[in-house]
Amino acid sequence: MIVKDDVNIIKNILSLQNENVNVKVLDTATSAIKENNYLKMFEALLPCVDDIDVLKTEILKTLKAIRTKNDRDLLESILSISNENIDLTLLLNVYKVLEKNSSIKDNLFDSFSNNQIKAKRAIFDALKLLKVLNKESTVVIWGSWYGSILVPVLAPRVKKVIGVDIDEDVVNIANKKLFSEFKNVDFQCFDVFDKHKNYYKETNLIINTSCEHMKPMKEWKWFEKGSLVEDGVSEKEPKLSSNCWFVFQSNNMFGIEGHINCVNSLEEFESQLPERAKVYFRDEVEDTRGTRYMLVGKLMPL
């Protein structure tokens, strides 16, 4: 059954699709369940619903979920009772995944952690400030992982979101289970340094929050001279959109597995950018394990 620490992650997941979420009842109810104090659970749920028939149905569903140890049904019941018109799609999809893949719980929940929320919120704030995106934008996310935070926020606001990751299991979960409801979202499995995709020619924003996991961005060969029409190299076919922004994040968390290219400062990170990158916004985001460095800018003609 749901542990008390899960409530914070649940809150983070719900916040991505709902502006105002009352998790106080959830916290109280789940605590009561763990104490086998069902009177306390009913005291938390009863004031939330005026319609006694609805309340009866939901409480019976809650009790059945407790008996069968079904976290998904338990969450749906408690949150439906305590929050009117709440969108539970992403949360329930997460728990559907965990029903068949319980071993990935820590990894999947980590993708919704406070540190991840904070880092991605910095991206959304910068994009809003610079007025980068609109309904006609195409966004590509390199090293997308599950796309947990970026996808549900971006997908309703842009034309297309494409996530790219080298982990096939992660890509399949994101594509088929987490975000299958979004018709404008696609995840693909390949190494971004090995392949060029034609959709880069229509891409308006490249996001890479995993720069510490890969070679410096200046080594991505399709940033070279001739990649933009405006470079004026007639014998080369353009590889990038003439209106392409980027958001890159790295960090100084050297001791974490898979971190092969950490940096110690914004200046060091900026030295890894391709020649055509013009930075418009810089930020440092504190993490419980170190500092994240963020650079936002546009790819310019050479």
Residues 99 and 133 in one domain: no
Domain that holds residue 65: 6-104
Residues 160 and 267 in one domain: yes
What's residue 140's pLDDT?
98
Domain of residue 165, CATH code: 3.40.50.150
Which tokens belong to 179? 């975000």
Residues 93 and 140 in one domain: no
Residue 1 covered by a domain: no
Residues 47 and 175 in one domain: no
pLDDT, tens only, 67-110 = 998 999 999 988 988 888 899 999 999 999 999 999 999 999 99
Q: Residues of the chain whose pLDDT is less than 50?
A: none
What's residue 62's pLDDT?
87
pLDDT, tens only, 187-204 = 999 999 999 999 999 999
What's residue 5's pLDDT?
73
Residue 60 covered by a domain: yes
Residues 93 and 149 in one domain: no
What's residue 234's pLDDT?
82
Residues 137 and 278 in one domain: yes
Residue 239 covered by a domain: yes
| Structural domain total, the chain | 2
| CA dist., res. 231 & res. 105, Å (int) | 47
Cα 249 to Cα 110, 124, 146, 293, distances in angstroms = 17, 13, 17, 5
Alpha-carbon Rg for the chain, nearest whole angstrom, is 22
Residue 109 covered by a domain: no
The helix (run of H) or strand (run of E) holding residue 67 is helix 52-68
